[in-house]
Copies of this chain bind each other. A is one copy, B any other.
Amino acid sequence: MPKIVANALGPSPLEENLRRLTDEVGGRMTGSPAMSRAVAWAVAAFRQAGVDEVRAEKYTIPLSWSEGATRLEVLMPAPFPMRLVSVGWAPPTPAAGLEANLVDIGEGSEADFARAGASAKGAILLAHSEIGKTWEDLFNEYLRAPVIINRAVKSGAGAILWMSTRERGLLYRHQNTLTGELDRLPQAIVAREDAQRLARFLAAGEKVRVRLVMPNRVGGPAEQENVVAEIRGREKPDEYVILGAHLDSWELGTGALDNGCNAALVIEAARVIHATGLRPRR
């Protein structure tokens, strides 16, 4: 153990390795060319770390998805710039966009939808949010969306605009489907300040008409790769201790925290084990 700690605390390629993944490969969405570069990065880095074997294992995702040039045109009361991105795996709008009235559904509760009534039908809904600061807020953000989408689908809405949970124009993208299928409605995350500006128009009793253009590209089944490296055990080479991290990230940032640092850490663990000359039992 002291040998491992000494090695882990010594000079390390970890930081430079992570810089290459985040700065040079950058955001790496599953299905993107950047993701292929990330796989090549991981294979090379594991080799450098001195593992017994490293390979890229193919698997298939049922659908590939990438974002086109998402935009929201405010037709009434006046045009102004809007910052937004599509929600992950949201279906595209028609090519010319979806033009509709904007309806504020507040927090998106049953009561909110009851209040909106028939006006939600065919409309683009605006869903408010609290500012996200804690882990609880984050999971609340994940958990509330499917319930609201259910209500939106039932009410016949055309699309949903989600107010970003981050301030100052920051957009935090995730997805509301976990099955590899397309989402049920076009949805975008709108910069908090821009969404609040829309909400103030509606609160002032003004009619807001918008056109949401979201030319997301959806493809058929696509082959992807996981990177698997092995240090074989000295006593039980057919048993496994697995250390893993996801390598992909959204392309809004460089995926340093989620999850580059952990991907680089798995490689670093392999390097340190190899560098000590110790061989694990399994």
Q: Does A78 contact B (CB under 8 A)?
A: yes
Output the nearest chain B residue to A206 by Cβ-Cβ distance: B24
Number of interface residues of A (CB under 8 A): 21
CB pairs A–B below 8 angstroms (12 shown): A19-B200, A23-B197, A23-B200, A24-B77, A24-B78, A24-B201, A26-B80, A27-B80, A168-B168, A169-B169, A169-B170, A193-B253
Q: Does A1 contact B (CB under 8 A)?
A: no
Q: Which of A24, A168, A193, A204 has the most CB of B within 10 A?
A: A24
Q: Does A254 contact B (CB under 8 A)?
A: yes
Tell me how far the C-beta of A12 lies from the nearest C-beta in chain B, rounded to whole angstroms: 17
**Residue-by-residue, is A176-204 near B (CB-CB < 8 Å gives 1, otherwise 0)?**
00000000000000000100010011001
Known A19-B200, A24-B78, A27-B80; further 7 A-B contacts with Cβ < 8 A = A23-B197, A24-B201, A25-B78, A168-B169, A169-B169, A193-B253, A197-B254
Q: Which 5 interchain pairs have the tightest Cβ spacing?
A: A26-B80, A23-B200, A23-B197, A168-B168, A168-B170
**In-complex Cβ contact of A19 among B23, B27, B78, B204 (8 A):** B204
Contact A26 B78 (CB under 8 A): yes
- A253 CA / B204 CA spacing, docked (Å): 20
Chain A positions 1-55 with a Cβ under 8 Å from a chain B Cβ? 19, 23-27
Tell me how far the C-beta of A133 lies from the nearest C-beta in chain B, rounded to whole angstroms: 15
Output the nearest chain B residue to A198 by Cβ-Cβ distance: B23
**In-complex Cβ contact of A201 among B23, B78, B200 (8 A):** B23
Contacts of A204 in B (CB 8 A): 19
Contacts of A26 in B (CB 8 A): 78, 80
Contacts of A24 in B (CB 8 A): 77-78, 201
Output the nearest chain B residue to A16 by Cβ-Cβ distance: B204
- A250 CA / B264 CA spacing, docked (Å): 42
Contacts of A80 in B (CB 8 A): 26-27
- A200 CA / B24 CA spacing, docked (Å): 10
- A77 CA / B25 CA spacing, docked (Å): 10
